[in-house]
Amino acid sequence: HHRDLHAFPTRRSSDLDYPDAHFRLGQLLRLKHRDREAAEALREALKFQPDALHAADALAMLLATSDDASVKSPREAQRIAETANQMAGGQSAALLDTLSVTYAAQGRFDDAIETATRAKGIAESTGQTTLRDQIDRRLTAFAEHRVK
């Protein structure tokens, strides 16, 4: 069967890569401590691809931990992290880790410890040793009522 390729709308590769480009830009800006611009880039990535869990994770962590008071928004971070966790079926150690940080950033250290402990168990059972060790360090901080 001959298919008329002109019948299909063409998409530029730049359209397809747009959310990922914003995600990468957000990560780069975060490394440069340009948190406000990083948050804008990550929000753009999510606007174009609402199910981009990596972008949601990065934005939630940024909003929970930013040193810039105009960017920091632990409650919004929690909402984003909870949505991402629901989309992942509650089985992502990294997303649960981020959710635990959003709780700690609000002073909810019991919730943070409970969530981080779940994240650690998943990281352990899936062989994510680097993440497991990172979560261990967080658990120590949370026990001392510190976010970092």
Q: Token pair of 25, please? A: 């830009």
Q: Residue 50 pLDDT > 70, yes or no?
A: yes
Candidate from 25-29, 91-95, 132-136 with smallest mean pLDDT: 25-29
- pLDDT band at residue 18, thresholds of 50, 70 and 90? confident
- Of 53, 128, 68, nearest to 98 by C-alpha is 53
**Higher pLDDT among residues 3 and 45, named by residue:** 45
Q: Phi, psi at residue 52, to the nearest 5°?
A: -75, 90
Q: Minimum mean pLDDT among 21-30, 40-49, 74-83: which range?
A: 21-30
The confidence score (pLDDT) of residue 84 equals 96
Q: Span 117-127, mean pLDDT?
A: 97
C-alpha distances in angstroms, 29 versus 55, 62, 84, 121?
13, 11, 22, 31
Q: What is the mean pLDDT of residues 41-65?
A: 94
Greatest Cα pair distance, the chain, in angstroms, is 68
The mean pLDDT of the chain is 89
| Contact of 122 with 138, CB cutoff 8 Å | no
- In terms of pLDDT, which residue wins out, 14 or 56? 56
What pLDDT does 17 receive?
64
User: pLDDT-based confidence at 62, cuts 50/70/90?
Assistant: very high
Angle (CA) 76 20 41, round 5° = 45
Task: Give residue 4's pLDDT.
Answer: 45
